[in-house]
A and B are shown apart, each in its own frame.
Chain A
Amino acid sequence: MKYMITHTTTYTYSEPASLSQNEVFLTPREIPTQKVSKNRLTIVPEPQYLKRQTDYFGNLSHIFMVQQSHNTLSMTAQSEVETMTPVAPPPDQTPSFETVAMGLEACENPSDLAAYQYVFASPLISIPPGIKDFAQVSFPPGTPVLKGAVDLMGRIFTDFTYDKSATTVDTPVEQVLAKRKGVCQDFAHFAISCLRSLGLSARYVSGYLETIPPPGKPKLIGSDASHAWISVFVPNAGWVDLDPTNNLFSGEKHICLAWGRDYGDVTPVKGVVMGGGIHTLSVKVDVSSQA
């Protein structure tokens, strides 16, 4: 599929802000199943400092600073991407999760070593007591790794409630486990915590998902949103993306921006502002498919 994505973030300040420093991950990542033909970031007011760089995980980020007094700050990322449906291996035929975990720990080849860094607890994804018990229900001994991951995803989808009111930027995994509520970011963090508790490698993916309006209704511009899902490491096959919020393998409607250990590594827009009083944030995302 070909998509045109427009992602606009606007901060409005009740008092003038004197200095704003930001790091944004708004450039889609170039991967075998995703070609990026265009990407443009427009920032108003124009920043005095702007750098494009590659982070530790290979994502593209922009770092910029607006140094004059301003009452609003808006950044618009426009991208054109073409996506293909990734081919996932048949879950039943993937190696058992125990073998995978042992292979990762042994780090015998470069791909295992590269994947091994996503096995550990990270700043926003702890592995609290009780997580492993939850995970093991999907992973009886000998379970093929992807089969178990798909089962885990299905359980999160059926047992957990999507609830915007139950979340903040860093809802801890413990809370998601206890309340069984949250949004895509929380479900992704939770699923990753479960997989890591078994010694498996799982990373956090930030991106977009095209939404389809109900039949007969026109699609509203800007009604899309940022999305998050997970990627689990399957030896030989590579990384397989799963979307626990929607209980599906990620397909051509999923557009990947960046990945990392957790949300904190790849927050689409983050920064610090001096002054500014009360901040009002507005985010508009539009993902439209091109014929």
Chain B
Amino acid sequence: MISPTANHLQDQSSLFNTLAFPRDAYCEAFIPQGQCREHWLPLVKALNATGIDSLNKRQDRVRRMRHEDGATFNPFDDPNQVRAPWALDIIPMPIAAKEWAVLEAGLIQRARLLELVLGDIYGSQSLIHGRQMPAELIFANPNFLRHCHGTKPTGNRFLTFYAADLYRGPDGRFRVLRDYGSNPAGLGYALENRIVISRVFQKFYHQTQICRLAPFFQTFHNNLIRRAALQQEDPRIVLLSPGPDSPIYFEHALLSRYLNYPLVEGQDLTVRNGDVFLKKLSGLEPVEAIFRHIPDNRSDPFALRRGTATGVAGLIQVSRDQNIDITNPIGSGFIDTPALSTLLPDLCRHLLDEDLALENHPAWWCKSLESRNHVLANLKSLNLGPAFDRSRTKALPENIKAAIEAESYAFMAQEPLCPSTVPVWDKHGVNSRYALLRVFLCASQEGFVVMPGGLAITAPDVNTLSENYPERQQSKDLWVYSDRPVEPFSLMDGMHTTTEFRRGRDLPSRVADHLLWLGRYLERAEVRVRLLRSVFRRITGEDRLADIPELPFLLDLMATQETIQLPEEKNIILRYRQLWDQLQDALYRKDRPGSLAAVLNQVQGAARNVRDWFSVDSWRVINRLDEVPDSPVEYPLEHLDETLYALSAFSGLAMESMTRGLGWRFMDMGRRIERAMIHTNLIRAGLSQLYEESRSKMEALLEVAASIMTYRSRYRTTFQLAPVLDLLLIDESNPKSLAFQCSQLADHVEQLPRQHERRFASPEERMALDMLTSVRLLDLSTIGSNQSDDENLVLSSFLESMEERLKNFAQAISAHYLARVPVTPHYSVITGEAKS
């Protein structure tokens, strides 16, 4: 922690007068005597003028806006998890135009240099032959991918997107701490920070000459198109993400939306005939460029022999054939190797004939004798770590000296980091934190271009700052002042054009699959809530259990959905205590597959997989489903009402915000299939008891099927089986009836994409039509009056066959559109010869 000992500021009226900073570190905002640095002055004045209360309000607003945009850390895993990666601080970090120009030049030189290094090691390797680079850096370095050697990337660009972490040392000079090539993170957060902060400080932002970020994204996009010779309209670019399990999935979703590149996962892509394709409902669509957000070593399970979860099998072969542009080319993670930086001053002179403009953080790679001796002599004061692995997952060996002597190339040491401090806002005022800058560059025809902005990453102590735990760090928007007027670019323009591709006529099969299941789980949850509510309503009244004739009926219905488990023997009336326990399990036990809690979990899981499809509002509602108490509550009815409300709100919002595209169709098909299946199943299960024409049972059934209001409005208080069944099965004007579900399904399948011109109905269409016709032709005229066993049998076998047909229909849809095929690796085993 920063101790509150050092100099205080002099102006007692300033918000900053409580600001403390450590003696050794450079303070970004003030000189030690307490005067504000020139480029901070307008901001400090503006903040002082705003005042504590208003700043607190704005900080709340920042938190809320960011949360609403979904910039949170896996919201489903832990509802109380409030730590988002790089939580945003309200105070931006400004940088003066002059200073930035120097940084910019240094970063461009560094990117040029690193690209030349990549070109060499994946080509002629003249650097190791000429002994400018120790051979271990290639031979013993897991970041060097042999499979990528000899591959010429598109436009011969080995590095097209580059990020670096910088810090300012006590002497006021910037140094580079880390380089990122494989899949630099943080660009999306930088974008989000700018969107939020420019809104919160709207007036100030627009009155000040702050460089805009939008031109950088345009440069990135335009050069990608030019380099890969893609068509201007509708270029086939995708953003490849590991999926919602990634802690920074938010960033992938945001960049996808902003750049208008469809967000895909490894399983959405496939390699055919040496090209990459996106699996969509209507078939395979070619992909020409990939903005890659998965690490090098997980990019291709075929070539790199890793688990098959993330990458695209065969991707490296496609890039070898030069049929895809990947940003960055696979293998560029070589520049993430910590030891490489120690060579850069010499390599810069050798390759560029220039001195390295931007210094490195002082570090020594033990490979050279001189460095090794320095490290061994200063083991106590230096930070020792592996030379090739930044993650530092392995513990260092116990006998460090011996280990260094044995494998000197595997170790390096850095000087302890002493970064500058910046003012941050906390609830009570301004505080001081250590800061790193993460900056981004992209390749353009005219050379590298630096984004004028980035992330200022802050933390209360240096260790948290230097380790790679974005969820423990905060971030600031980085403001680069311009000495010229800035062009008014709106970031939001990009956000509005977004929706086009997702509203299109096609979508990835994986997305359709998740949406279909989301629809099914939603319906499944809703039925459970209705069943449980009907039961709780009855047993929380005045009546004794034995005096509720429809209770066993409702419990039987519930048992068909595996929501409760009834005792084997029939007709045993549960004691109140037993029943209560059963119902508690039905509500809360996540390990019982049919319980409400388990199904709600499935709802959230499915929603999470298609998270970027839903509006912020729907999202908030989904998060609310998590608020299921862990322990039983006193008033389950209220909880059930709340849940039903949340489910309906989500369905409503999701359906409303989704326009009637294919995504909506699949989700709605899921609902219809599930509703038809469950209702048919419930009616069949209750049929024998319903013949008694017991009013309370018929009422209970209508209640569960959400049709009681409709029934009452039509038939008042007369309860007869025939009209009840008619309303639930055949009446197409009742949105809950079986016939209605079938007619909706028939309508949906007709609209699904097909590979060939429509000449014949697809099998799914025929199945849907067949179901609809059978329901319409169902004859209920004999029901009710002295029915015979035969007639019972006819109806019950009709229901049974409907269930079967619905199941087949669901399977046919999955097989046709959503085939999910497992991928297995295989290897030949060499056993060789037995000893003779």
A: residues with CB less than 8 A from B are 9, 11, 18-19, 21, 23, 48-49, 51, 53, 55-57, 63, 65, 67, 107, 110, 113, 116-117, 119-121, 123, 157, 162, 164, 167-169, 183-185, 206, 209, 211, 225-228, 245-246, 263-265, 267-276, 279, 281, 283
Q: Report Cα–Cα, A116/B832, bound state, in Å.
A: 27
B833 an interface residue at 8 Å Cβ cutoff? yes
Smallest CB separation, B592 vs chain A (Å): 31
Instruction: Report whether B139 and A119 are in contact in the complex, using a CB–CB cutoff of 8 Å.
Output: yes
Contact residues, B373-387 vs A (CB, 8 A) = none
Instruction: Report whether B135 and A183 are in contact in the complex, using a CB–CB cutoff of 8 Å.
Output: no
Smallest CB separation, B814 vs chain A (Å): 14
Instruction: Report whether B273 and A272 are in contact in the complex, using a CB–CB cutoff of 8 Å.
Output: no
Contact residues, B794-832 vs A (CB, 8 A) = 821-832
A interface: dominant SS? mixed
Instruction: Report whether B129 and A271 are in contact in the complex, using a CB–CB cutoff of 8 Å.
Output: no
Instruction: Report whether A272 and B129 are in contact in the complex, using a CB–CB cutoff of 8 Å.
Output: no
Instruction: Report whether A63 and B317 are in contact in the complex, using a CB–CB cutoff of 8 Å.
Output: yes
Instruction: Report whether A209 and B833 are in contact in the complex, using a CB–CB cutoff of 8 Å.
Output: yes
Q: Report Cα–Cα, A265/B308, bound state, in Å.
A: 18
- Using Cβ atoms and an 8 Å threshold, which residues of chain B touch A164? 831
20 contacts between A and B (CB under 8 A): A23-B303, A56-B147, A65-B314, A67-B273, A107-B135, A113-B135, A120-B140, A183-B831, A206-B830, A227-B830, A245-B833, A246-B833, A269-B826, A270-B827, A271-B825, A272-B301, A272-B313, A273-B823, A274-B823, A279-B826
Instruction: Report whether B273 and A226 are in contact in the complex, using a CB–CB cutoff of 8 Å.
Output: no
- Known A-B contacts A21-B314, A67-B273; the reply to A209 vs B821 at CB < 8 A is no
Instruction: Report whether B302 and A226 are in contact in the complex, using a CB–CB cutoff of 8 Å.
Output: no
Instruction: Report whether B832 and A113 are in contact in the complex, using a CB–CB cutoff of 8 Å.
Output: no
- Using Cβ atoms and an 8 Å threshold, which residues of chain A touch B301? 272
Contact residues, B267-323 vs A (CB, 8 A) = 270-274, 301-303, 305, 308, 313-314, 317, 320-321
- Using Cβ atoms and an 8 Å threshold, which residues of chain A touch B135? 107, 113, 116-117
Q: Report Cα–Cα, A274/B822, bound state, in Å.
A: 6
- Using Cβ atoms and an 8 Å threshold, which residues of chain B touch A184? 830-833
Smallest CB separation, B118 vs chain A (Å): 16
Partner of A11, one of B139, B826, B829, B834: B826
B537 an interface residue at 8 Å Cβ cutoff? no
Partner of B821, one of A18, A116, A183, A211: A18
- Using Cβ atoms and an 8 Å threshold, which residues of chain A touch B824? 272-273, 276, 279
Closest CB pairs A-B (n = 10): A184-B832, A269-B828, A56-B146, A120-B140, A183-B831, A117-B139, A275-B821, A226-B830, A227-B832, A185-B830
Q: Report Cα–Cα, A246/B128, bound state, in Å.
A: 38
Q: Report Cα–Cα, A115/B242, bound state, in Å.
A: 38
Instruction: Report whether A65 and B828 are in contact in the complex, using a CB–CB cutoff of 8 Å.
Output: no
B: residues with CB less than 8 A from A are 128-129, 131, 135-136, 138-140, 146-147, 149-150, 270-274, 301-303, 305, 308, 313-314, 317, 320-321, 821-836
- Known A-B contacts A67-B273, A116-B139, A246-B833; the reply to A272 vs B825 at CB < 8 A is yes
Partner of B826, one of A18, A113, A265, A273: A273
B128, B136, B273, B827: residue with the most chain A Cβ atoms closer than 10 Å: B827
Smallest CB separation, B273 vs chain A (Å): 5
- Using Cβ atoms and an 8 Å threshold, which residues of chain B touch A19? 270, 272
- Using Cβ atoms and an 8 Å threshold, which residues of chain B touch A211? 833
B131, B301, B830: residue with the most chain A Cβ atoms closer than 10 Å: B830
- Using Cβ atoms and an 8 Å threshold, which residues of chain A touch B128? 107, 113
Instruction: Report whether B831 and A225 are in contact in the complex, using a CB–CB cutoff of 8 Å.
Output: yes
Instruction: Report whether B827 and A272 are in contact in the complex, using a CB–CB cutoff of 8 Å.
Output: no
Partner of B829, one of A21, A169, A276: A169
Instruction: Report whether B832 and A49 are in contact in the complex, using a CB–CB cutoff of 8 Å.
Output: no
Partner of B274, one of A49, A121, A168: A49
Partner of B830, one of A53, A57, A183: A183
Instruction: Report whether B828 and A110 are in contact in the complex, using a CB–CB cutoff of 8 Å.
Output: no
- Using Cβ atoms and an 8 Å threshold, which residues of chain B touch A246? 833, 835-836
With CB as the reference atom, state the residue of chain B lying closest to A11.
B826
- Using Cβ atoms and an 8 Å threshold, which residues of chain B touch A57? 146
- Known A-B contacts A56-B146, A65-B272; the reply to A275 vs B822 at CB < 8 A is yes
Q: Report Cα–Cα, A190/B728, bound state, in Å.
A: 72
Q: Report Cα–Cα, A224/B323, bound state, in Å.
A: 40
Instruction: Report whether B827 and A267 are in contact in the complex, using a CB–CB cutoff of 8 Å.
Output: yes
With CB as the reference atom, state the residue of chain A lying closest to B828.
A269
Knowing that A9-B828, A270-B825 touch, tell me 6 more A-B residue pairs with CB under 8 angstroms: A162-B835, A225-B832, A269-B826, A271-B826, A274-B822, A279-B826
Partner of B832, one of A53, A65, A183, A283: A183
- Using Cβ atoms and an 8 Å threshold, which residues of chain B touch A9? 828
- Using Cβ atoms and an 8 Å threshold, which residues of chain A touch B827? 169, 267, 269-270
Partner of B828, one of A67, A157, A226: A226
Q: Report Cα–Cα, A56/B146, bound state, in Å.
A: 6
- Using Cβ atoms and an 8 Å threshold, which residues of chain B touch A228? 830, 832
Q: Report Cα–Cα, A96/B262, bound state, in Å.
A: 61
Smallest CB separation, A61 vs chain B (Å): 11
Q: Report Cα–Cα, A169/B826, bound state, in Å.
A: 10
Smallest CB separation, B469 vs chain A (Å): 28
Instruction: Report whether B139 and A272 are in contact in the complex, using a CB–CB cutoff of 8 Å.
Output: no
- Using Cβ atoms and an 8 Å threshold, which residues of chain A touch B830? 183-185, 206, 225-228, 263, 268
Smallest CB separation, B540 vs chain A (Å): 52
Instruction: Report whether B139 and A56 are in contact in the complex, using a CB–CB cutoff of 8 Å.
Output: no
Instruction: Report whether A21 and B822 are in contact in the complex, using a CB–CB cutoff of 8 Å.
Output: no
Q: Report Cα–Cα, A56/B148, bound state, in Å.
A: 9
- Using Cβ atoms and an 8 Å threshold, which residues of chain A touch B313? 21, 272
- Known A-B contacts A11-B826, A272-B824, A275-B821; the reply to A48 vs B832 at CB < 8 A is no
Smallest CB separation, A67 vs chain B (Å): 6
Smallest CB separation, A234 vs chain B (Å): 19
Instruction: Report whether B149 and A65 are in contact in the complex, using a CB–CB cutoff of 8 Å.
Output: no
With CB as the reference atom, state the residue of chain A lying closest to B834.
A162
Q: Report Cα–Cα, A267/B305, bound state, in Å.
A: 11
Instruction: Report whether A21 and B835 are in contact in the complex, using a CB–CB cutoff of 8 Å.
Output: no
- Using Cβ atoms and an 8 Å threshold, which residues of chain A touch B273? 48-49, 65, 67
Instruction: Report whether A65 and B271 are in contact in the complex, using a CB–CB cutoff of 8 Å.
Output: yes
Instruction: Report whether A271 and B302 are in contact in the complex, using a CB–CB cutoff of 8 Å.
Output: yes
Partner of B831, one of A48, A185, A270: A185
- Using Cβ atoms and an 8 Å threshold, which residues of chain B touch A65? 271-273, 314
With CB as the reference atom, state the residue of chain B lying closest to A26.
B828
Instruction: Report whether A120 and B825 are in contact in the complex, using a CB–CB cutoff of 8 Å.
Output: no
- Using Cβ atoms and an 8 Å threshold, which residues of chain B touch A67? 272-273
Instruction: Report whether B832 and A264 are in contact in the complex, using a CB–CB cutoff of 8 Å.
Output: no
- Using Cβ atoms and an 8 Å threshold, which residues of chain B touch A274? 821-823
With CB as the reference atom, state the residue of chain B lying closest to A264.
B305
With CB as the reference atom, state the residue of chain B lying closest to A185.
B830
Q: Report Cα–Cα, A105/B270, bound state, in Å.
A: 43
Q: Report Cα–Cα, A51/B830, bound state, in Å.
A: 24
With CB as the reference atom, state the residue of chain A lying closest to B301.
A272
- Using Cβ atoms and an 8 Å threshold, which residues of chain B touch A53? 320
- Using Cβ atoms and an 8 Å threshold, which residues of chain A touch B829? 167-169, 185
- Using Cβ atoms and an 8 Å threshold, which residues of chain B touch A185? 829-832
Q: Report Cα–Cα, A245/B135, bound state, in Å.
A: 32
Smallest CB separation, B142 vs chain A (Å): 8
Q: Report Cα–Cα, A28/B235, bound state, in Å.
A: 44
B131, B273, B305: residue with the most chain A Cβ atoms closer than 10 Å: B305
- Using Cβ atoms and an 8 Å threshold, which residues of chain B touch A227? 830, 832-833
Instruction: Report whether A167 and B831 are in contact in the complex, using a CB–CB cutoff of 8 Å.
Output: yes
- Using Cβ atoms and an 8 Å threshold, which residues of chain A touch B833? 184, 209, 211, 225, 227, 245-246
With CB as the reference atom, state the residue of chain A lying closest to B142.
A123
Instruction: Report whether A270 and B828 are in contact in the complex, using a CB–CB cutoff of 8 Å.
Output: yes
B147, B302, B320: residue with the most chain A Cβ atoms closer than 10 Å: B302
Smallest CB separation, A227 vs chain B (Å): 4
Smallest CB separation, A237 vs chain B (Å): 22
- Using Cβ atoms and an 8 Å threshold, which residues of chain A touch B832? 183-185, 209, 225-228, 245
- Using Cβ atoms and an 8 Å threshold, which residues of chain A touch B303? 23
Smallest CB separation, B302 vs chain A (Å): 5
- Using Cβ atoms and an 8 Å threshold, which residues of chain A touch B825? 270-273
